[in-house]
Amino acid sequence: MNMFKLSKAGINVNEGLKRFSGNAQLYERFLDKFPLDPNYAAMGESVKAKDARAAFAAAHALKGVAGNLSMTRLYTDLVPLVEVFRKGSLDTGGLWEPVSHDYEEIIQALQETE
């Protein structure tokens, strides 16, 4: 686990380790599974399908995963996007781009630390 690259991608590794009771192997295992989480893709597909309810469900679930793994930047950027979808709107304004950027940065950092 390259803590520098993960931190640079907006992951608070120290906080994540605390959430996992200091078990670095377990935390790393969950981080490694993050790219398999379907919620980011489901959120995008739901927006394309103009389904705010499904977009909300996927964004809310992704926010939970990001919070549990201490992906602080992604979590913070998801909060306002989740609220847009919660209201039944698909007008994401400029809220989608930071989430997308954060997500891609995390995926890249995780691939580089393998």
- pLDDT digit string (tens) for 47-79? 999 999 999 999 999 999 999 999 999 999 999
- pLDDT digit string (tens) for 72-101? 999 999 999 999 999 999 999 999 999 999
Q: What are phi and psi of 52, to 5 degrees?
A: -65, -35
pTM of the model: 0.94
Cβ contact 16:70 at 8 Å: yes
Cβ contact 37:65 at 8 Å: yes
Contacting residues for 13 by C-beta, under 8 A, at least 6 apart: 1, 3, 6, 7, 70
- pLDDT digit string (tens) for 1-38? 788 899 999 999 999 999 999 999 999 999 999 999 99
Rounded Cα gap, residues 30 and 68, in angstroms: 10
Place of tokens 């201490």: 70
Task: Identify how many contiguous H helices and E strands the chain contains and give both numbers.
Answer: 7, 0
